[in-house]
Amino acid sequence: MWLRSIFLKTLRDYRVPILGWGLGMGVLTPINFAGFVTFVDSPAGLAGLRTLVQSPAVRLFGEPVDIIHAGGYATFRLSMALSMLGVWALLAASRTLRGEEERGSLDLLLSVPRSRSRIAAEKVAAIGAALLLMGLLISLLAFAGGKLTGVGLGPGAAFFFGLNIALLASVFGSLALLVSQFTRERRPAAGTSGALLGLSFVLTAAGRTVPNGEWMARASPIHYFELSKPLIPQVGADPMAMMTLAVVSVVLSALGVALFVRRDVGAPVALARRFSGRRAKAAAALPLRSWSLGSVFARSLRSLMAPTLWWGVAIAAYTAILTALIHQARQNIADFFNGLAKGNPVLADMIARLVGGEDIANGALLTGIFTLLTVVVAAFALTLANRWAADEQEGRLELLLGTPHSRARVMLARFSAVLVALIVVAVLLFTGTALAAAGVGMTLNASLLAQAAFGMVPVGLVIAAVGYLLAGWLRTAAVTGILTALLIGSFLLAVLGPIFHLPAIVVQFSIFEQYGAPLVDGLRPASAVRLIAVAAAALAVATVRFARKDL
């Protein structure tokens, strides 16, 4: 049955992501419901929630609406996490046409008696159906979690909760489909769409934080996603906001399909070819004297240069903007309390000490952002590991291994380039944060900032090394899926471990728990050594496996 149409065949190919992402994202809601019940049982926990709402940096991560009830608490905690389904959507959309053109499989498909528009439309429809099925799984698990924890969540609210998530993801998937028509490869399309996803977070946070900044938020799809809060009975779903997401998704998909129908296979649209023609002509000459051909390490470093700079600049810019927004949020709080303390010198002095430029206080406010950035850096390491697995699967290592280089040397050279890439990202992150803090007059401890930035490198090395290890036995898709599950599970263990009072020895298995909070208490040398040791062990086993296996 699954091979009777392009739509069903494509949907069948997404069966593992549907279950993996649907169940993985779906369990977050019941977990947060259970976490809220744990908080309610403790007066100190409930008081902590009320204090959280008053934090100047809390609005950077979400709008705290009715946070002292289960629905509002889960909505606030999940507002950023569930929008990550857009990452899968943009990867799938950039891979479904442009990726198949790279592999050459689309040529065979276009030879069957099906029009271009029908092939593209069925593939896009399959991605949309996969997202709807993921949303349905999220809805079912949210409804079941509400029943198990005693949270009053009706089936209608649970359905709109999952549908809203699917609609947001479809916007970024449609955007990636459109962008891929202007690129020659799937990776630039996915990278550009991912950068726009990050920009959407920044615009939404700026709209919540900057005075009179709502106009910035309206340019972000995440803003319309957050207008609907089905888990909060007093707010509910916003039909116009959800309709806006649906219309934007359909329009972008239609434009992407229309451009695909009118361009050459394997080439960008005509407008993009005009700008890239001179570059393609210059690249036709063989770079015989290029520095990148001097060694396997140099060649690997050259291949990672572009994605490293893109990721590093995007992360640095994102952090710089959020640093400025945090400073603005603190100023807003200071202005409010200064108005209350007018005419009271004692209270004014206390407020000045509280909202002044102390580096420890500023570091504490930035800790939450750096924790999320550690996940982003780990995701970058995941893409680097994915490159190794894809190069082996697609036969790009065969010519290299035909040269007089041992397999172990090839793998270690490639991994050394990964290490350099992670260090470059850390340098850009440190530089962007320091410049932004200096620009807005925000005092930060330079030593702690450096420890926080470069402390992310061991975390990335663990993810990359495990990816290299898994590539010795598994295909690229399986490696990516397992690493994604490792990332999500490790992050949840670090965040939810204290809420559910899990044993400290269990929480220590999270790589993000090992990272800690360097902006507050500095980098933990023992934890960094443990992460590096795990990465070294995984790389050693991966090297032995690669040296003995058949390609």
What is the C-alpha to C-alpha distance for residues 292 and 71, in angstroms, rounded to an integer?
54
Q: What is the pLDDT of residues 148-177, one digit of tens each?
A: 888 888 999 999 999 999 999 999 999 999
> Rounded to an integer, what distance in angstroms lies between the CA atom of residue 351 and that of residue 313?
36
Question: How far is it, in rounded angstroms, from Cα 420 to Cα 84?
Answer: 27
Report whether 298 contacts 154 (CB < 8 A): no
**Residue type for 182, please?**
F
Neighbours of 521 (CB within 10 A): 13
Q: What's the gap between Cα 502 and its chain centre?
A: 26
- State how far Cα 189 lies from the chain centre: 15
| Residue 230 near residue 160 (C-beta atoms within 8 A) | yes
The torsion region of residue 191 among left (phi > 0), alpha (psi -120 to 50) and beta comes to: alpha
Which has the closest alpha carbon to 470: 406, 399, 392?
392
Percentages (nearest 5) of helix, strand, coil residues in the chain: 80, 0, 20
Q: How far apart are CA 461 and CA 514, in angstroms?
A: 13
Place of tokens 């410049």: 435
Per-residue pLDDT of the chain (551 residues; tens, 9 = 90+): 777 899 999 999 999 889 988 988 888 889 888 888 776 666 666 666 666 565 555 666 777 788 778 888 888 888 777 888 898 999 899 988 998 898 888 888 888 888 999 999 999 999 999 999 999 999 999 999 998 888 888 999 999 999 999 999 999 999 999 999 999 888 889 888 988 888 898 888 888 777 777 888 889 999 999 999 999 988 999 999 999 999 999 999 999 999 999 988 888 887 655 555 545 454 455 555 666 666 889 989 988 998 899 889 888 888 888 887 777 666 665 555 555 555 556 555 555 554 444 555 666 778 878 888 898 899 899 999 988 998 888 888 888 888 888 999 999 999 999 999 999 999 999 999 999 888 888 888 889 999 999 999 999 999 999 999 999 999 887 888 888 888 888 988 887 787 777 888 888 999 999 998 898 888 999 999 999 999 999 999 999 999 998 88
Contact 515, 374 (CB under 8 A): yes
Distance CA 255, CA 261 (A): 10
Residue-wise burial string across 63-86, b where 16 or more C-beta atoms lie within 10 A, e elsewhere: bbbbbebbbbbbbbbbbbbbbbbb
- Spatial CA neighbour of 427 closest among 377, 388, 368: 377
Q: How many CB atoms lie under 10 A from the CB of residue 504?
A: 10
Q: Say if residues 169 and 85 touch (Cβ distance below 8 Å).
A: yes
How buried is residue 518: exposed, middle or buried, by Cβ count under 10 Å (0-12/13-18/19+)?
A: buried
Is there a contact between 63 and 207 (Cβ–Cβ < 8 Å)? no
Give the C-alpha separation, 374 to 531, whole Å: 14
What is d(CA 256, CA 120) in angstroms, rounded to the nearest whole number? 9
| Residue 25 near residue 165, CB atoms below 8 Å | yes
